[in-house]
Amino acid sequence: MKLSCGLLIVAAVCTPLTGWADASEISRAERGPITVTAQVEISSIPEELSAFARAGFSKYVSVFGVHVFATAGTADDKLLHAAGVLAQYLDNDEDGVPDNMLIVSHLVGRNAYLVMTADEREFERIDHDKWQDAGFHAGQFLHAEEVRPGFIVDGKITATEPWQYDASLEEVLHLITDHGSANAYPAVFGRQRGTAISDCADRARGGYFERVPTNGPNFGYPRGAWFHYDDRSCDHDCMISEYLYWALTTLLGTQDFSGRGEALANEWELNTPELLAARDPGVYALLTNPDYKLPTIAPDGRYKPSAADPVTIPVNSDDGKVKLVRPGESGDTIDHSTLDLWSARYRNWHYWPDHVISAKPRIESFEQFHNTDVPTVYRLGGDDKWYMSFIGFDGRGYNSFVAESDDLVNWKNLRQAMGFGGEGEFDHGGRVIGAFLYRSYDIKAPRVLKEHDGKYWTLYGAYPRQGGYELRPGYEGIASSADGIAWKRSRDEYILSVHDSDCGRWEQSCIYQPWLVEHEGTFYDFYNAASGGTEQMGLALSDNLFDWKRYDGNPVIRNTPGGYDEQFCSDGKIFRDGDHWTMFYFGVGRGGAHIMVAFSRDLFGWTVHPKPLYRAGGHPLGLDKTYAHKISLVYNRRNDTFYMFYCAVGNKGRGIGLITSRPIEGSYRRDSVDRQQ
């Protein structure tokens, strides 16, 4: 049943369709329920959270298992106030027990955290990578200079100016709704298009807009809209967060004081509960639905629980999980509406106008290499730079190269990373690195390479003969590096080939490119392979990186007759994405090579979305009019943007293209991919 704005929604216990999982979430879920009390007090940072101490924080408060960190420059009264606001949002009746245990369980399961600094300048000096690299991503920041402990006293607002607002009421709420409510009730509070809260927001904005509109008479929005947020860096899911903040804080009465309505009019017109009920009855009904146990009293930061008995917090409720099946087993696949929800954030891209690495990069001492391809972006621990491995072709075969960048757009210092193997060896025709071992495979993780046995590691695709393009049969090898730049083969023999005893008929012609995932002590090699003129994707497993055994349910991604991947399903890139895994791969079918997506709960059973995320020919300047394939996806926390690098083949040859989830300086937008189709 579709949930829509304006209906009285009946609560359903669900697992998250949104939100970001990470290594810390997985380990915490494995430890099971935690026991806490309602006490809110400052302490030192626990050892298991030492990544935040290394980043520069020194104070810590736990609120029902949700973390609050602060720097030494953050005043204690403001830290305790923010923690008190968090406690009151979660335990609004102050009986010492969270009102909605499901929401709290998702916050705790994700190791949700609030970080506080004295001001924005101090926040910029903090080393964010310290906790990002450790797997903590479900967070929100708050500047102490914007916290006003006396904003509400005895239930009354004390502000004398319309701009005097307590920022903790906003930022703490964002933490709860983005990482708690959206995952506990994904069809209701999820930030994708089609959820109940999204329908309400679209109504408030005068329609569905992926980005801020500019042509309407009402601050760029259509006439009659009452929510007209104009921050152009805020996409649709960001708008949902802002809308939910405005609606709930209005319902609680915190926007209703002298001059506030006029001050907010350019963004939000409904600053009183009465206006909200009259003009936005759908969200009013949603937020007052007792099934969701949302707060009804505005937090003042003075949390005084009536009891402080131990409380057991479940971690990540398993109720309602969608079951995935492995090939050959009976059961339910992921339904189409769920596929739409999960893939929505990876559609509607912005275009960089040119290749970021050209078809003829003129690499010093390797000027003969051209037709750049197979980008993979990564970072090195303790280094602020981004690195990209890619390949070039010189008529004989492939070499792998590496470039570096400070901003993910301008790439420089191109040099060789790995050249040809020796004559007569399985990789004499070229080596294609990029299946790196990462510290974290979370989709928002910073792609930092992991050291294993004192080295960095990659699997690589290889070809035995020189003299042409991908001369069959292909092989896979393993290489290591001391510095993450120059790579050397770590085993003289190949690790996967068509000659293996467990090689299937579907892969009998050629083995191509690997993708490495480490999960719960097992290494996974997702690879594409060919039988004749068709390619599909398989899986092999290892406990040591050197000895591999194929999965007996191969291929895990199969050709779809008549689909966008009817000829090729290739080059899969897999990341942990909330409670599931997301695979980006390219399909060949219907006249081109396109960027596709598939989803899995267990890394074995996959469900493909039949519609491409991005079709060849989408670039308005023709940069990818022939092919769009072989992606590398990274998240830039500095501007909250996904960067998708890909091999773009079109009117400027074969080079590395770039599309982004948000506009960046120099990019532009054409009609959405959905409209292309």
> What pTM was computed for the model?
0.58
Helix (H) or strand (E) holding 570, with range, is strand 568-577
Instruction: Kindly state whether residues 309 and 342 are assigned to the same domain.
Output: no
- At residue 335, does pLDDT exceed 70? yes
Boundary of a domain, candidates 278, 313, 348? 313
Residue identified by tokens 């994708």 is 192
Q: How many angstroms separate the CA atoms of 52 and 131, rounded?
A: 6
The full DSSP string for 421-433 is: PPTTSTTTTEEEE
Question: pLDDT at position 137, please?
Answer: 86
Higher pLDDT, 155 or 211: 155
Residue 9, both tokens: 């929604």
238, 178 contact by CB (below 8 A): no
CB neighbours of 340 closer than 8 A, spacing ≥ 6? 192, 194, 609
Residue 91 lies in a domain: yes
Question: pLDDT at position 350, please?
Answer: 94
Identify the band that residue 32 occupies on the pLDDT scale cut at 50, 70 and 90: low
| Domain span holding position 145 | 23-313
Higher pLDDT, 486 or 318: 486
- At residue 225, does pLDDT exceed 80? yes
Residue 6 lies in a domain: no
Instruction: Kindly state whether residues 295 and 398 are assigned to the same domain.
Output: no
Instruction: Kindly state whether residues 281 and 232 are assigned to the same domain.
Output: yes
Instruction: Kindly state whether residues 420 and 513 are assigned to the same domain.
Output: yes
Work out how many domains the chain is built from and give that number. 2
CA nearest neighbour of 461 among 473, 471, 475: 475
Cα dihedral 565, 569, 573, 579 sign: positive
Residue 2 lies in a domain: no
- At residue 238, does pLDDT exceed 90? no
Residue 14 lies in a domain: no
Instruction: Kindly state whether residues 511 and 591 are assigned to the same domain.
Output: yes
Instruction: Kindly state whether residues 258 and 402 are assigned to the same domain.
Output: no
Distance (Å) of CA 472 to CA 390, 398, 429, 454, 467: 21, 13, 10, 34, 11
Instruction: Kindly state whether residues 510 and 553 are assigned to the same domain.
Output: yes
Residue 262 lies in a domain: yes
Question: pLDDT at position 236, please?
Answer: 79
Question: How high does pLDDT run on average in the chain?
Answer: 89
- At residue 4, does pLDDT exceed 70? no
Chain mean position to CA 572: 17
End-to-end CA distance of the chain: 26
CATH number at residue 544: 2.115.10.20
Question: pLDDT at position 488, please?
Answer: 98
Instruction: Kindly state whether residues 508 and 582 are assigned to the same domain.
Output: yes
Instruction: Kindly state whether residues 377 and 267 are assigned to the same domain.
Output: no
Question: pLDDT at position 339, please?
Answer: 87
Burial 128-162 (b: 16+ CB within 10 A, else e): bbbbbbbbbbbbbbbbbbebbbebbeeeebebeeb
Q: How many angstroms separate the CA atoms of 143 and 168, rounded?
A: 9
Residue 453 lies in a domain: yes
- At residue 330, does pLDDT exceed 50? no
Instruction: Kindly state whether residues 576 and 640 are assigned to the same domain.
Output: yes
Question: pLDDT at position 191, please?
Answer: 86
Tell me the three-class secondary structure of 307-351, residue by residue. Answer: CCCCEEECCCCCCCCCCCCCCCCCCCCCCHHHHHHHHHHHCCCEE
Residue 396 lies in a domain: yes
By mean pLDDT, which of 124-128, 331-335, 486-490 is the weakest?
331-335
Distance (Å) of CA 627 to CA 433, 496, 587, 593, 655: 21, 28, 10, 5, 11
598, 577 contact by CB (below 8 A): no
Quick one: residue 522, left, alpha or beta (phi over 0 = left, psi -120 to 50 = alpha)?
beta
- At residue 210, does pLDDT exceed 90? no
- At residue 327, does pLDDT exceed 80? no
Residue 319 lies in a domain: no
Question: pLDDT at position 318, please?
Answer: 37
Task: Calculate mean pLDDT across residues 236-258.
Answer: 94
Q: What number of helices (H) and strands (E) belong to the chain?
A: 16, 28
Instruction: Kindly state whether residues 297 and 224 are assigned to the same domain.
Output: yes
For residue 145, the 8-state DSSP code is G
Question: pLDDT at position 531, please?
Answer: 94
The string of pLDDT tens digits covering residues 509-542 is 999 999 999 998 899 999 999 999 999 999 999 9
The string of pLDDT tens digits covering residues 362-404 is 999 999 999 999 999 999 998 899 999 999 999 999 999 999 9
Q: What is the largest CA-CA distance in the chain?
A: 83
Question: pLDDT at position 3, please?
Answer: 38
Identify the band that residue 669 occupies on the pLDDT scale cut at 50, 70 and 90: low
Instruction: Kindly state whether residues 380 and 440 are assigned to the same domain.
Output: yes
Q: How many angstroms separate the CA atoms of 439 and 434, rounded?
A: 15
